[in-house]
Amino acid sequence: MFIFGVGFALSFYWKGNARASKHGTAIVGLHAFFICLYLTTNPHSWEFLCENFYNMSPIFDYQQKLAIYKIAEMMVNVDGQVLTEETLTLESGVAKLGFSSESEIAQIKETAAKQEYASCLQILSTLEAAQKKFVTSFLGAIISSDGDIDDRELELWRELSQQCGFPIMNNRQAIEIFKEY
């Protein structure tokens, strides 16, 4: 495997370098060489690459992330109780959106608090189908996380799904789909 990998990587390097030298950027070929060398000589790299590509969360811009956070926070608070399970699911969703440091999370909380509900709905209604599927499953996972689905939570989920054009799913489907991300 190693010999095949090195040969494969070198052929990519030469081809890339030949193409790149015409454009004056030989670095492109060198990058291709190292990427191919790594992928072909590390047995776990292909598995990791394919697994993460398949399970990758949809990509959102910053305004979309703010709207998602604002709506998710509303979902956590709509029944008047903020339970640990709901908070953990909210934190999991925030991490899946790409916010990991405490300062990033504090900033999104502060900025989302200033955002209006109507503008959130407008932003969320313009999402693509894969993005809407993520948001719907995230909200469904939040309301299902504590094991007790309050009528107010269910009503907000239905209202958001209807107003934003989210795909229809039940809470069990939402949990399973959210786990995939």
Give the chain as a DSSP string: -HHHHHHHHHHHHHHHHHHHHHHT-THHHHHHHHHHHHHHH-HHHHHHHHHHHHTPPPP--HHHHHHHHHHHHHHHHTTS---HHHHHHHHHHHHHTT--SHHHHHHHHHHHHHS-HHHHHHHHHT--HHHHHHHHHHHHHHHHTTS---HHHHHHHHHHHHHHTPPP--HHHHHHHHHH-
**Domains: count for the chain:** 2
Domain stops at, among 54, 82, 97 = 54
Same domain, 174 and 91: yes
Predicted local confidence at residue 42, as pLDDT: 61
Give the domain range for residue 67.
62-180
Same domain, 31 and 77: no
Q: What is the pLDDT of residues 108-133, one digit of tens each?
A: 889 988 999 999 999 999 999 999 99
Q: Which CATH number does the domain housing residue 155 bear?
A: 1.10.3680.10
Same domain, 46 and 28: yes
Same domain, 37 and 126: no
Question: To 5 degrees, how large is the angle CA 17–CA 21–CA 24?
Answer: 130
Both tokens assigned to 128: 């693509």
Same domain, 133 and 151: yes
Of 46-50, 99-103, 125-129, 174-178, the poorest mean pLDDT is in 46-50
- The pTM assigned to this predicted structure is 0.66
Q: What is the pLDDT of residues 135-149, one digit of tens each?
A: 999 999 999 888 888
Q: What is the pLDDT of residues 55-114, one digit of tens each?
A: 445 688 999 999 999 999 999 999 888 888 998 999 988 888 888 788 888 888 899 889
